[in-house]
């Protein structure tokens, strides 16, 4: 990725009169941290970064910023928002358009073909974070860690994030401007996480998920970071009627996590953000990828790839065999 070209493109976009700001990534305050940044003028584009550390899906901010109703006396700013996206991020934008969560003409998508990001937890285990910021770059098939004036080769197969091993769309599926050359899609790895669960019998699955969901502290990080969990009135927050109690125990935790998984069926774009931010390290990716696989295999539907598509749960096929109906 040519950072100078990215920054130049961003500067040209953000000075347009019809653009409010551009959302991208910048260097964090320490270690392997990369932070979201809202660029409002051309000079701010100099902060922008795109590297294997840019794991966060910025599409979440499209539905988080300036929610209605606005404060009294304040009028809505109708200018467009520009957004840097990787392949998985662009699927989130596409799915939001499909669901009318955002309007296509209100967002400028700046696509960044992605050779894959690192798993920062694995990286920190092998090379503990320091007080000052570190950098990671792509180097052919591998990564390079730049820290303390040293370059350390990072083998791709050891440090590539799980979501990238399974990624079917490393290039943006929707883009108004693309910076950089498209990357060659790689051979997908087997989804060992889902296969591990599928290989268990019913009792073993129950025991596995009881152990996992019992760790949940109901912090709602998974919901808050998810670009497709954007309902202003979440059913899981309602107290009248109460669908899920706020008590933190296995029963309520299970209801919460299973409700989210089903709500995301046919909508999850498998960006892995829920699992990345979970402080209890619950393998939410396995659950969501299992649901996504069922939707693909049984219905031939993949969300976030066609902005003209109908939402999965609003679609109908006359030739659906419906073998599951008794």
Using omega within 30 degrees of 0 as the cis cutoff, is the peptide bond preceding 69 cis? yes
Q: How many residues does the chain have?
A: 326
pLDDT bracket for residue 55 (50, 70, 90): very high
Q: What is the tens place of the pLDDT at every residue in 85-109?
A: 999 999 999 999 999 999 999 999 9
Asked if 291 contacts 265 with a C-beta cutoff of 8 angstroms, the reply is: yes
- For residue 254, give both structure tokens: 């299970």
Q: What percent of the chain has pLDDT over 90?
A: 71
Tens-place pLDDT, residues 130-146:
888 899 999 988 999 99
**Residue range 14-30: mean pLDDT, rounded:** 94
Amino acid 325: pLDDT: 64
pLDDT of 59 above 60: yes
What pLDDT was estimated at residue 235?
83
Give the whole-angstrom CA distance, residue 101 versus residue 97.
6
Please tell me the predicted confidence (pLDDT) of residue 326.
53
Please report the pLDDT score of residue 81 as a whole number: 95
User: Tokens 């409002």, residue?
Assistant: 40
| Gap between the Cα atoms of 147 and 136, Å rounded | 9
Specify the range with the lowest mean pLDDT, choosing from 65-69, 153-157, 244-248. 65-69
Q: How confident is the model at residue 321 (pLDDT cuts 50, 70, 90)?
A: low
> What pLDDT does residue 105 have?
92
How would you classify the pairing of strands 80-85 and 135-139? Answer: unpaired
DSSP code, position 184: P
% of the chain beyond a pLDDT of 70: 96
Q: What is the pLDDT of residue 67?
A: 61
The overall average pLDDT reported for the chain is 90
Say what the pLDDT of residue 248 is: 83
In this structure, the number of other CB atoms found within 10 A of the CB of residue 149 comes to 5
pLDDT over 90 at 11, yes or no: yes
The CA distance from 147 to 101, in Å, is 41
Q: What is the pLDDT of residue 244?
A: 84
Looking at residue 17, its pLDDT comes to 93
pLDDT exceeds cutoff 70 at 175: yes
pLDDT at 72: 83
What is the per-residue pLDDT across 265-300, written as a single tens digit (0 to 9) for each? 999 999 999 999 999 999 999 999 999 999 999 888
Give 325's Cβ-side CA count (13 Å radius): 3
pLDDT at 253 over 70: yes
Enumerate the β-bridge partners of residue 107: 81
**pLDDT, position 141:** 87
How is residue 130 annotated by DSSP? P
What average pLDDT score do residues 2-30 get?
Answer: 94
Residues forming a β-bridge with 138: 143
Tell me the C-alpha distance between 153 and 285, whole Å. 28
Of the pLDDT bands very low, low, confident and very high (cuts 50, 70, 90), residue 1 is low
């Amino acid at each position: 990725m040519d950072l100078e070209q990215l920054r130049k493109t961003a500067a040209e976009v953000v000075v347009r009169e019809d653009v409010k700001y551009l959302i991208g990534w910048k260097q964090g305050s320490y270690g392997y941290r990369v932070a979201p940044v809202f660029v409002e003028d051309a000079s701010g584009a100099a902060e922008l970064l795109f590297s294997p550390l840019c794991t966060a899906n910025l599409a979440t901010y499209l539905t988080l910023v300036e929610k209605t109703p606005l404060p009294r006396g304040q009028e809505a700013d109708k200018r467009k928002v520009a957004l840097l996206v990787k392949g998985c991020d662009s699927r989130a934008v596409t799915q939001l358009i499909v669901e009318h969560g955002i309007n296509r003409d209100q967002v400028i998508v700046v696509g960044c073909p992605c050779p894959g990001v690192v798993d920062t937890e694995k990286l920190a285990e092998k090379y503990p974070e320091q007080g000052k910021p570190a950098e990671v770059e792509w180097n052919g098939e591998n990564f390079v860690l730049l820290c303390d004036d040293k370059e350390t080769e990072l083998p791709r197969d050891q440090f590539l994030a799980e979501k990238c091993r399974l990624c079917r769309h490393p290039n943006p599926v929707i883009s108004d401007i693309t910076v950089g050359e498209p990357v060659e899609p790689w051979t997908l790895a087997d989804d060992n996480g889902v296969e591990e669960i599928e290989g268990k019998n019913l009792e073993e699955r129950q025991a596995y998920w009881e152990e996992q969901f019992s760790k949940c502290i109901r912090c709602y990080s998974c919901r808050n970071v998810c670009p497709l969990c954007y309902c202003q009135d979440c059913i899981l927050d309602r107290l009248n009627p109460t669908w899920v109690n706020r008590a933190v125990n296995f029963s309520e935790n299970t209801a919460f996590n299973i409700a989210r998984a089903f709500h995301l069926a046919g909508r999850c774009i498998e960006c892995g953000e829920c699992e990345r931010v979970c402080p209890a390290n619950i393998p939410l990716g396995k659950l969501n990828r299992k649901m996504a696989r069922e939707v693909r295999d049984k219905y031939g539907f993949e969300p976030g790839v066609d902005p003209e598509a109908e939402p999965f749960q609003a679609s109908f096929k006359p030739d659906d065999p419906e073998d599951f109906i008794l």
